[in-house]
Structure 1
Amino acid sequence: MFTKVLLIAGLVAAVAAQFGDHGHGHAYSSQHVYKHDGHHEPVHGHHGHGHHDYYTHPKFEFAYKVADHHTGDIKSQHEHRDGDVVKGSYSLHQPDGSERVVHYHGDDHSGFHADVKYATHHLVPHNHY
């Protein structure tokens, strides 16, 4: 999962850099990844042949943001995991001009829950004279 997050963040940054400005305004992307490497704890149980498995408490946080006003590609995401609890949110501007904002959380006890909201922005047409 962590590797996929890094791959996606790198891809977003590469695409944004390749299709940069070209005289149409500024586009940017950013990403942040924090991985906590805790102490390795042995997994209890018999594995035979003197083999021991280890478990590290999963903990990470990542965020990314893309804003290209020329193409309308505007989106962001933030996610945090601590053990079996995952919390996050993402937002994106949809083709109709509205913004979708989703806040989500999940854990082993209550499952996955998402709160989806839509916000309509007043669009001001640009005169290209």
Structure 2
Amino acid sequence: MFHEMLNKVTVLAFLVGLAVAFPTDPYAPPVHYKSVPIPYNYAYGVRDNYHGTDFGHNEDSDGKAVKGSYTVQLPDGRRQTVNYIADHFNGFQAEVSYLGEAQYPHEYGPPITFKPQSSYH
């Protein structure tokens, strides 16, 4: 008799757990929790004259809007700068500008490479 009662209690506990585990409305949209926006800022820059790499980025946020700028040296010799601002009301808005004139070689050939030089003699 004790085992019979224990089995009934176990089955009942399983069914209650199963009912609690499932949502009350399986067709309801999922609940999304938003975290509180945190202000931040960052910046970085990379410049390697040996390889011709030159780019950078900076960004500031007050928790509601993001404002920033990034630059890159393009292969045609121009420097591209993108200034932007983004928020949840107006979306992403960017202003792109270029500095310099595009240069294209008149002769084509193998790429120019430079061998590393020893820094000590």
TM superposition score category, shorter chain reference = 0.5 to 0.7
Q: Secondary structure at the match of 2:79?
A: strand
C-alpha displacement of 1:54: 9.0
Q: 2:98 & 2:36 partners in 1: Cα distance?
A: 38
Q: Which portions of structure 1, spanning 4 or more consecutive aligned residues, are displaced by more than 4 angstroms?
A: none
1:110 aligns with 2:90: yes
Q: Determine the structure 1 residue equivalent to 2:56.
A: 76
| Structure 1 vs Structure 2 CA RMSD | 2.3
Amino acid at match of 1:75: F
TM-score (norm 1): 0.50
Amino acid at match of 2:47: A
Give matches, 1:1-129, under 5 Å. 55-120=35-100
Please list every run of 5 or more consecutive structure 2 residues that lacks an aligned counterpart in the other structure.
Answer: 1-32, 104-121
Q: 1:89 & 1:102 partners in 2: Cα distance?
A: 5
Paired residues of 2:82 and 2:94 also in contact (CA < 8 A): yes
TM-score (norm 2): 0.53
Number of aligned positions between the proteins: 71
Q: Secondary structure at the match of 1:70?
A: coil
The structure with higher relative contact order (CA 8 Å, sep 6+) is 1
Paired residues of 2:40 and 2:63 also in contact (CA < 8 A): no
Amino acid at match of 1:89: S
Identity level (%):
34
C-alpha displacement of 1:57: 3.5
Q: 1:54 & 1:92 partners in 2: Cα distance?
A: 34
Q: 2:59 & 2:82 partners in 1: Cα distance?
A: 12
